[in-house]
Structure 1
Amino acid sequence: MTLDAHGAADTERPDRHAPEAQPLPPDDGGPGSPRLWSPRRVPAAVVAVVTLCVSGALLYDVIAVRAGQPVGAWRTRLAHELATRPVDDPWLLTGGVVAAVLGLWLLVLALTPGMRRLLPLRTPEGCAEMGAWLDRRGAELLLRDAALRVPGVSRARVRVGRHRVSARADVRFRDPETVRGELAQALHEQCRQLALAHTPRLAVRTRRPTR
């Protein structure tokens, strides 16, 4: 998320030479906390309800047939459609695509942890059973405040990713190149204090806004 220190927007002229993202030196502060896995309550509830309804209807029809009742019209119609429709039928193709997309979505939900808004932090040595995480928005606020403390910076925007920290700052006075160096150092120190488990790459841009 992008955060601004001031609500007003200026017409800006970007700096000509924007630095490439540089990795921060690693810190030896212990192992990192494991990723938190999202409970996925809504997808799990939807799959459970659909499975229950389909299996319940099929089981009821089978029990009714075993008890001497005629086969349900819906099951007869479904079997007839599947047996007589050609493979290239638009309805079959559409159903296959929908089923494939839903299956892929469920696989992604099952194999990925989610909770991307939480950044894992390092844990002290000997405390592997403990875990600590930092909200991504909180990290952006802390880094933005550190950027605004640099002399010459009037507005700063910081975006924190899992592997990259991007910062853009408006410089009202002083040389933008000088401010950029001090800003990179300030953000570097703040990132060290955050104690993130994965050392991010740091990209800093400065610009002098013009009205």
Structure 2
Amino acid sequence: MTEPQEPDNSTRRPPAGDPVERGGGLALDQSASAAAYDPASVKERSGGGAGRFWSARRIPAGLLALVVLGGSGLLLYDVAAVRAHHPAMQWRRALADDLAERPLNNVWVVAGAAVAVAIGVWLIVLAATPGLRDVLPMRRDRPGVRAGLDRTAAALVLRDRAVEVSGVQSVRVRMGRAKVAVRAVSHFRELDDVRADLDTVLGTGIEELGLAKPPSLSVHVRRPAKKG
């Protein structure tokens, strides 16, 4: 569901205790908070955590294996041919002659070295990082059992919870690994009241997801954009 653009005169929620003028004065068009929900307390109550899931990365591994197999097989065949008193392949002689004539600061030499370094760094990153960023690890309540929750599915669950709050016209949920950002549009009720209900409902929803590392929650509520 697309979110209307924010009006230019939108304001944030004033600090507690500050008066807000109503009727003929300044109207509150937006209510924002970091939410009363505390992910640290949820983690303490939930017990032990779980590490991230590691991606198998079959495609990069398969491509690398094919390149290494083809290159090493071709080089081994050429070396064996030279040992058998046959001339080396034309491409290897031409490559050796070309590299011998080019200086180290040649554009093609530098470009080739940069590509090789980039590929090497990419392979190291793939080998050293877990991957599968879209899978959120869940708590390990039972030994030997691991479970994960897709980020899109988690966002849909929280969105369904949010639209049930009275006064919410539309809502958009962005589920990150460390933070859940919720932007809602309310067409009636006080914005502070709607935001407080969203804090409570979504905080409970995140806790019930059973994530090993519960994310923080940020809730923003505003009025629909004025037409015309």
TM-score after normalising by structure 1: 0.90
Gaps of 5+ in 2: 13-31
Matched-pair identity in %: 43
Q: Which structure exhibits the higher relative contact order, with contacts defined as CA atoms closer than 8 Å and separated by 6 or more residues?
A: 1
User: Pick from 196, 206, 209: which aligns with 1:194?
Assistant: 209
Q: Which residue of 1 aligns with 2:157?
A: 142
Gaps of 5+ in 1: none
Aligned residues: 203
What amino acid is the match of 1:189? T
Indicate the SS of the match to 1:13.
Answer: coil
1:14-53 correspondence runs (5 A) = 15-17=10-12, 18-20=32-34, 23-24=38-39, 25-27=41-43, 28-53=45-70
Structure 1 Cα separation of the partners of residues 81 and 126 of structure 2: 37
Q: 1:11 to 1:84 in 2, by over 3 A?
A: closer
Structure 2 Cα separation of the partners of residues 165 and 10 of structure 1: 20
What amino acid is the match of 2:219? V
**Pairwise CA distance, 1:35:** 1.5
Structure 2 Cα separation of the partners of residues 200 and 13 of structure 1: 29
User: Pick from 101, 125, 142: which aligns with 2:118?
Assistant: 101
Q: Which residue of 1 aligns with 2:133?
A: 116
1:41-89 CA-partner distances (Å, limit 9, x unpaired)? 1111111111111111100001111112112221112222222211110
User: Pick from 178, 183, 200: which aligns with 2:193?
Assistant: 178
What amino acid is the match of 2:206? C
Checking the alignment, whether the CA contact within 8 Å between 1:33 and 1:133 is kept in structure 2 is no
1:72-83 correspondence runs (5 A) = 72-83=89-100
Structure 1 Cα separation of the partners of residues 158 and 109 of structure 2: 53
Runs of 4 or more off by more than 6 Å in structure 1?
none
Q: Which residue of 2 aligns with 1:91?
A: 108
Structure 2 Cα separation of the partners of residues 202 and 194 of structure 1: 14
Structure 1 Cα separation of the partners of residues 78 and 166 of structure 2: 76
Q: Which residue of 1 aligns with 2:4?
A: 10
Q: Which residue of 1 aligns with 2:19?
A: none
1:8-36 CA-partner distances (Å, limit 9, x unpaired)? x5344385213247743333223223311
What amino acid is the match of 1:179? V
Indicate the SS of the match to 2:33.
Answer: coil
What amino acid is the match of 1:118? V
Name the larger-Rg structure.
Answer: 2
Q: Which residue of 1 aligns with 2:175?
A: 160
Q: Which residue of 1 aligns with 2:143?
A: 128
Structure 2 Cα separation of the partners of residues 97 and 19 of structure 1: 46
RMSD: 1.7
